[in-house]
Copies of this chain bind each other. A is one copy, B any other.
Amino acid sequence: MLDANRVRVLVEVAHAGSISAAAERMSFTAPAVSQQLTKLERELGCALLERGRGGVRLTAAGRELLAYGERVMGDLRDAEAAVRSAAGEAPRRLALGAFASAGKTLVPSALAAFRRAHPDVRLALSDVEPPDGYGLVTSGDLDLLITHRYPGVPLPAAAGLHRERILVDPLLLVLPEGHPAGERGAPRLEDLEGEEWICGAPGISNRVALESAAQEAGVRLTVAHETRDYEVMLALIRAGVGVGLIPRTILGAAPKEGWAALPLSGGSGAARRRALAREIYVVHRRRPWRPVPEMVEMLKGSARRARERGAERFG
């Protein structure tokens, strides 16, 4: 039968994106990992990954095996946790993955509350940029994933995982203070055709969302500056170099000087119907161990407070 340790190597490589990175994570050397993969491929009689510059890419067979491997690793982790808890030991580590801007607003207060409630549980937080992270949950590397979807970006399949939306976070148009487009409230995208936009690089969620909205409105936008960091984006806007779309919860925690935010009124019917907002989800395995649902509740509380704060400030 397939050797489970070799399968684990494949899973790690797939998650890390390259053989050498996976080796690093596992405290091995690259040749060790390479050898195991070679043996796995010989065993199965087919290629599992394409070696190339800048890492590896899984073949179809490799992706197939990855899906099973993640399940296997997750079950092994669960098995250990189940036995230890049957023996009276409480599990003591909860690994969270979150996208960067969640780490700044939603997560900290929930983390603090959780730490107060469970001082013995070690918390670990790591950056995971959507749409990644589902595999890490399946394999048990993460106990809880906080992810998002921007309009125009499809939601990944959550095979065998539990996913729950905890917040709908409107995207507001942010302008430099005194910008003429802000004078008469709720401009349309068409009214902003001459502006210089600030958003993420191509492929980054907010860029995709902005571009799909622009396409629906039949407008061509000019992206002048690319950054995925909303703090940077806001600083640029305050400096007057452009305009941008920023989630309301981010604005709620930002200094109040030098900018103005207001909703963007949808151009066409289709764009209006699909509200311009990012949705925030939590993802975890089915049958999570005790503190995971508790953490979810805390995150929901955090989300509720953020929503209320935002609604108060921005109507």
> What is the interface of chain A, defined by CB distance below 8 A to chain B?
1-5, 7-8, 44-46, 48, 60-61, 64-65, 68-69, 71-73, 75-80, 82-84, 86-87, 89
Count this chain's copies in the assembly: 2
> How far apart are the CA atoms of A77 and B60 in the complex, in Å?
18
Measured between beta carbons, the chain B residues less than 8 angstroms from A3 are: 5
Whole-angstrom CA separation of A83 from B49 in the bound complex: 13
Contact of A68 among B44, B75, B87 (CB under 8 A): B75
**Other contacts beyond A1-B77, A64-B82: 9, CB < 8 A:** A4-B76, A46-B83, A46-B84, A46-B86, A46-B87, A61-B87, A68-B79, A72-B72, A72-B75
* In the complex, residue of chain B having the shortest beta-carbon distance to the beta carbon of A68: B79
B61, B65, B69, B76: the one contacting A1 at CB < 8 Å is B76
A79→B45 contact, CB < 8 A: no
Q: In the assembly, what is the distance between CA of A73 and CA of B76, in Å?
A: 10
**Chain B: CB-nearest residue to A82:** B64
Chain B residue numbers with a CB within 8 Å of A46 are 83-84, 86-87
Most buried by B among A3, A5, A60, A68: A68
Expressed in whole angstroms, the Cα–Cα distance for A84 and B1 within the complex equals: 12
C-alpha spacing A213/B64, complex, angstroms: 51
What 8 A-B pairs come out closest when comparing CB atoms?
A4-B4, A68-B79, A46-B87, A2-B80, A61-B86, A72-B75, A61-B83, A2-B76
Nearest CB in chain B to that of A87: its residue: B46
Contact B68 A2 (CB under 8 A): no
Complex CA distance for A72 and B70, rounded to whole angstroms: 11
With CB as the reference atom, state the residue of chain B lying closest to A45. B87
| Chain B CB within 10 Å, residue with most, of A68, A79, A84 | A79
Identify which of A61, A71, A82, A83 gathers the most chain B CB atoms within 10 Å of its CB: A83
Instruction: Find out whether the CB atom of A76 lies under 8 angstroms from the CB atom of B5.
Output: no
B89 & A68 in contact (Cβ 8 Å cutoff): no
Cα–Cα, bound, A7→B3 (Å):
12
- Given A4-B5, A5-B5, also A79-B65 (CB < 8 A): yes
Which of these, B64, B68, B87, contacts A76 with CB under 8 Å? B68
| A8 to B78 CA separation, bound complex (whole angstroms) | 15
Bound-state CA distance A104–B64 (Å) is 40
- Among the interface residues A4, A71, A84, which one has the most CB atoms of the partner chain B within 10 A? A4
